[in-house]
Amino acid sequence: MIITQDILRRDTVQLLKQIDAQIDEVTKQARRVGVRPEEMRDVNGSWAMSPLLLAKAQAYSTLVQLQVKR
């Protein structure tokens, strides 16, 4: 399978949409329990938003690296 920059760019944008949907869900859950999303923890006691924000930053980094220099 050949992965071109266009395919990687398209898939990364789709991934960003999925990450944003998960961030929205964590935000909704946090509101339901009466805390800020930044204070929400998972069942293991880890911060719920941290891995999502890291994934989002990495996806943006990928898109920046894929930009064609003119």
Angle (CA) 12-65-14 rounded to 5° is: 10
For 6-55, how does the pLDDT look when each residue is reduced to its tens digit (9 = 90+)? Answer: 999 999 999 999 999 999 999 999 999 999 999 999 999 999 999 999 99
Query: pLDDT-derived band of residue 70, with 50, 70 and 90 as boundaries?
Result: low
d(CA 1, CA 28): 38
Contacts (Cβ under 8 Å, ≥6 apart) of 61 = none
- What pTM did the predictor assign? 0.88
Give the domain ranges of the chain. 5-66
